[in-house]
Amino acid sequence: MRKNQVTAKSTGFKVIGVDDEQGILDSLSIFMKRSGYDFVGITDPIEAINRVKNEHFDLMVLDFIMDPIHGDKVVEEIRKFNKDLYILLLTGHKDLAPPLETIHQLDIQGYCEKSDKFDQLLLLIESGLKSVSQMRTISKMNDELKQAYMDSIEILRHTVEAKDPYTKGHSDRVSAYAVLLGKKLNLPDNEIENLRIGGLFHDIGKIGIPDSILLKESKLTDEEYSKIKEHPVIGYNMLEHATMFKDILDIVKYHHERFDGNGYPEKLSGTNIPYLARVTSVVDSFDAMTSRRSYRDSLPMDVVKSEILTNLGSQFDPEIGIVFLDILDKDFNSIKEIQEKY
């Protein structure tokens, strides 16, 4: 083993080899394991695609000419669900390799001609795994920076809620209600995650509203109400330059729009209001009605349901509102769990 050989034992790297000739895989396996790599060899390219879909690998050594599909089709399928796998393409002869344009389009990191000697391939694998290791380090650093930024925004979020004891836990509940409703609407996982994060930060802009207005117990003047209505835009401006929040900006900015066009800040109506903002609007209003305020107690559940029903098509998207009412009727235990938790 070379002095600086990276091994699966020390790094956790896993390599998968795909070739329809078992003899090639057997030879490759000997060299891989002798060099300390965790290696899996597969002759069926369709099986290899499924294996990569269900198991983590860091690098793939892939034959180009195979049955029933060639290596470029294998890569095309894998790139539909995995953009990170490092792929080295093996060719029996350089004239049989796909054109460079295809290699770049499919994001294949390199290719190597087959040979009885594996020295060149091992060097390419070592180089590839060093690149994977560097990307892991960069990803870890990015995650740490993201977490530090999230922590800072979380502090601001809790500062907003600490101002007003009546709104304590509001964003947590809105987030949880939004996730519950999103799942009932059969939204994809990424949109449910956007609802979760968006619910947590939808009111972050209230940090810019004076306490004298935010905590006022008597009726707000028109001027004071206009100031309150600035919080979605303030929140949007706070988060818009952070790429990690790009998918929740619509929720922050538009959760007070109304389906009939009489909301704020832009008086959007109907389906012009971003869908996740329409989802958040329903659960935000629900939490407002079921939370005790300085000027009133929480409203009885029959009144809350009636308010939502009455405002379908005016304040709320009717299809989304109906689904939330169904949750209140048939899965109220999930609502209670959220209320008891926060």
pLDDT classification of 4: cutoffs 50, 70, 90: very low
- pLDDT at res. 165: 66
Encoding tokens for residue 87?
Answer: 């792929």
Residue, of 43 and 129, whose pLDDT is higher: 43
* Dist. CA 178–CA 251, nearest whole Å: 11
Contact 201, 235 (CB under 8 A): yes
- Rounded mean pLDDT, 37-43: 92
pLDDT classification of 94: cutoffs 50, 70, 90: low
* Dist. CA 169–CA 291, nearest whole Å: 10
Contact 177, 169 (CB under 8 A): no
pLDDT at 127 over 60: yes
pTM beyond 0.75: the answer is no
Sign (positive or negative) of CA dihedral 71, 74, 79, 80 = positive
pLDDT classification of 143: cutoffs 50, 70, 90: confident
Give me the percent of the chain exceeding a pLDDT of 70.
89
Contact 164, 212 (CB under 8 A): no
Counting Cα atoms < 13 Å in the Cβ hemisphere of 152 gives: 9
Write the CB contacts of 185 (distance below 8 Å, at least 6 apart in sequence): 279, 320, 323
- pLDDT at res. 7: 43
pLDDT at 10 over 50: no
- pLDDT at res. 11: 53
Question: What is the total residue count of the chain?
Answer: 342
- pLDDT at res. 105: 67
- pLDDT at res. 6: 43
Q: What is the pLDDT of residues 61-93, one digit of tens each?
A: 999 888 899 888 999 999 999 988 999 988 866
DSSP bridge partners of 111 = 89
* Dist. CA 189–CA 196, nearest whole Å: 11
- pLDDT at res. 120: 79
- Rounded mean pLDDT, 9-36: 82
* Residue whose C-alpha is closest to residue 6's, from 50, 40, 37: 37
pLDDT classification of 267: cutoffs 50, 70, 90: very high
Question: Which domains are seen in the chain, by residue range?
Answer: 8-137 (3.40.50.2300), 164-341 (1.10.3210.10)
- pLDDT at res. 2: 44
* Residue whose C-alpha is closest to residue 202's, from 226, 173, 181: 173
- Secondary structure in 3-state letters for the chain: CCCCCCCHHHHCCEEEEECCCHHHHHHHHHHHHHCCCEEEEECCHHHHHHHHHHCCCCEEEEECCCCCCCHHHHHHHHCCCCCCCEEEEEECCHHHCCCHHHHHHCCCCEEEECCCCCHHHHHHHHHHHHHHHHHHHHHHHHHHHHHHHHHHHHHHHHHHHHHCHHHCCHHHHHHHHHHHHHHHCCCCHHHHHHHHHHHHHCCHHHHHCCHHHHCCCCCCCHHHHHHHCCHHHHHHHHHCCCHHHCCCHHHHHHCCCCCCCCCCCCCCCHHHCCHHHHHHHHHHHHHHHHCCECCECCCCHHHHHHHHHHCECCCECHHHHHHHHHHHHHCHHHHHHHHHHC
CA 91 to chain centre: 37
* Dist. CA 262–CA 267, nearest whole Å: 5
Amino acid at 127: S
